Structure 1
Amino acid sequence: MGKSLLVLENLSPGRNLDAYMQSVSAIPVLSVEEERELTERLHYQEDLDAARRLVMSHLRFVVHVAKSYSGYGLPLGDLIQEGNVGLMKAVKRFDPTVGVRLVSFAVHWIKAEMHEFILRNWRIVKVATTKAQRKMFFNLRSMKKGLGWMNNDEVEAIAADLGVDAKVVRQMEGRMAASDTAFDAPVSDDDDSAYQAPANYLEDHSADPAHQVEHQNWEEDSQRRLMQAMGELDERSQDILAQRWLSEDKATLHELAAKYQVSAERIRQLEKNAMKKIRVTMEA
Structure 2
Amino acid sequence: MKVASAQSGSVTVVNNALALGFSGTLGNLDAYISAVNRLPMLTHEEEISLARRLRDNNDLAAAQELVMSHLRMVVSIGRGYLGYGLPHADLIQEGNIGLMKAVKRFDPDQGVRLVSYAMHWVKAEMHEYILKNWRLVKVATTKAQRKLFFNLRSHKQGLDTMTPSQVDSLAKTLNVKREEVIEMETRLTGRDIALEAPTDDEDDKFAPIAYLSSDSSEPTRVLEAQQKDRLHSEGLEQALAKLDDRSRRIVEARWLANDDGSGATLHTLAAEFGVSAERIRQIEAAALKKMKGALAAFV
Deviations 1:87-139 (A, max 9, x none): 00000000001001001000110000000000000111111111221112112
User: Which residue matches 1:7?
Assistant: 23
In structure 2, the gaps of 5 or more residues are 1-17, 243-292
CA change 1:110–1:281 in 2 (3 A) is closer
- Code of the residue aligned with 1:215 in structure 2: it is A
2:147·2:174 contact (CA, 8 Å) conserved in 1? no
Would you say 1:203 and 2:213 are equivalent positions? Answer: yes
User: Which residue matches 1:24?
Assistant: 36
Q: State the distance in 2 between where 1:194 and 1:216 align.
A: 32
1:42·1:51 contact (CA, 8 Å) conserved in 2? yes
Identical-pair percentage: 52
Would you say 1:71 and 2:86 are equivalent positions? Answer: no
- Cα RMSD after superposing both structures: 3.4
Q: Which of 47, 50, 61 is residue 35 of structure 1 equivalent to?
A: 47
Considering Cα pairs closer than 8 Å and 6+ residues apart, tell me whether 1 or 2 has the greater RCO: 2
Q: Please say which of residues 115-124 and 137-146 is displaced more in the overlay.
A: 137-146
- Code of the residue aligned with 2:297 in structure 1: it is M
In structure 1, the gaps of 5 or more residues are 233-277
Q: Which of 171, 183, 198 is residue 171 of structure 1 equivalent to?
A: 183
Give the CA deviation at 1:280. Answer: 11
Count of residue correspondences: 223
- Code of the residue aligned with 1:92 in structure 2: it is K
Give the CA deviation at 1:78. Answer: 0.4
1:1-284 residue pairs with structure 2 within 5 A? 5-7=21-23, 11=26, 16-187=28-199, 191=202, 195-206=205-216, 215=225, 218=228, 221=231, 282=297
Q: State the distance in 2 between where 1:281 and 1:37 align.
A: 80
Deviations 1:21-74 (A, max 9, x none): 111111111111111111111111111000001001100000000000000001
| TM-score normalised according to structure 2 size | 0.66
Q: State the distance in 2 between where 1:28 and 1:220 align.
A: 82
Q: Please say which of residues 26-35 and 81-90 is displaced more in the overlay.
A: 26-35
1:7·1:23 contact (CA, 8 Å) conserved in 2? no
SS in 2 for 1:6: coil
SS in 2 for 1:7: coil
Q: State the distance in 1 between where 2:296 and 2:54 align.
A: 79
Deviations 1:200-237 (A, max 9, x none): 222314289xx79x839808938x969x99xx9xxxxx
- Code of the residue aligned with 1:6 in structure 2: it is F
4+ runs of 1 displaced by more than 2 Å? 4-8, 193-196, 205-208, 214-217, 219-222, 278-283
Give the CA deviation at 1:153. Answer: 1.5
1:86·1:110 contact (CA, 8 Å) conserved in 2? yes
